[in-house]
A = this chain, B = another copy of it.
Amino acid sequence: MSEPIPIVGGTGALGAGLALRWAKAGRPVAIGSRSAERAEEAAARVRDAVPGAEAEGLLNEEAAKRGEVVFLTVPFRAQSENLNNLRKALRPGQILVDCTVPLAAAVSGKATRSLGVWQGSAAQQAQEMVPDGVTVVAALHTIAAPTLADLDAELGEDVLVCGDRKADKARVARLVELIPGLRAVNAGALETARIVEQLTPLLISVNGRYKTHAGIRLTGLPDDDHWE
């Protein structure tokens, strides 16, 4: 039996969509929330939507202990608080996948604009806050939650993955690519999250204009499996 995928903030739109897709791909998921009750409700929705799904709902700190690669899918406003709460839960060797985007909406600004983060990006802020030995990888900023949550919707887009060690990014890439239609692309060092996080407000702006849920795809990449 494979290890569960912990999703901190898994009751939010992105986290819930990921949980559904991974459950559908046959992977157990551990959905975390500040409320154990809401976590369990979200897990029940996954079990209802995907017959045979192994989904459990837990407090964030408990969920984070369930697997080696932990996804953090909370709004930027709650990122620091969540990372503080996770300090005693995370163990050396774990990977924290930060999906946070510093939208100006976090401080009642526009979702088509972003905030400057002192460390350069939300992911770099996360790297500063996790316990020693935990490495941060940034990914999944550009995947539209409504598309993810609609199991009938076909995906066909890229996930840009940033991190300082290729082996860590490759582990995340394997999980991302469990979801049909997603291709994980090595976008560079963690500092490149400064750029990748900005794609979300760009897509939000495009979505408003074109009435769609746009994604990103890089053209010209080789066809072979570049994560080997």
Contact = CB atoms under 8 A, between A and B. Distances in A.
Interface of A: 112-114, 144, 147, 156-157, 160, 185-188, 191-192, 194-196, 198-199, 201-203, 205-206, 209-222, 226
Contacts of A201: 195
B213 A216 contact: no
B217 A202 contact: no
Contacts of A186: 206, 209-210
Contact of A217 (B160, B196, B211, B219): B219
B188 A205 contact: yes
Number of this chain's copies in the complex = 2
A208 to B, nearest CB: 9
Instruction: State the main secondary structure of chain A at its contact with B.
Output: mixed
Contacts of A213: 220
Given A219-B216, A219-B217, A199 B205 contact: no
A196 B188 contact: no
A226 B198 contact: no
24 contacts: A112-B188, A112-B192, A113-B191, A114-B195, A156-B219, A157-B220, A185-B206, A186-B209, A187-B202, A187-B205, A187-B206, A188-B206, A192-B202, A206-B218, A210-B222, A211-B222, A212-B221, A215-B218, A215-B219, A215-B220, A216-B216, A216-B217, A216-B219, A217-B218
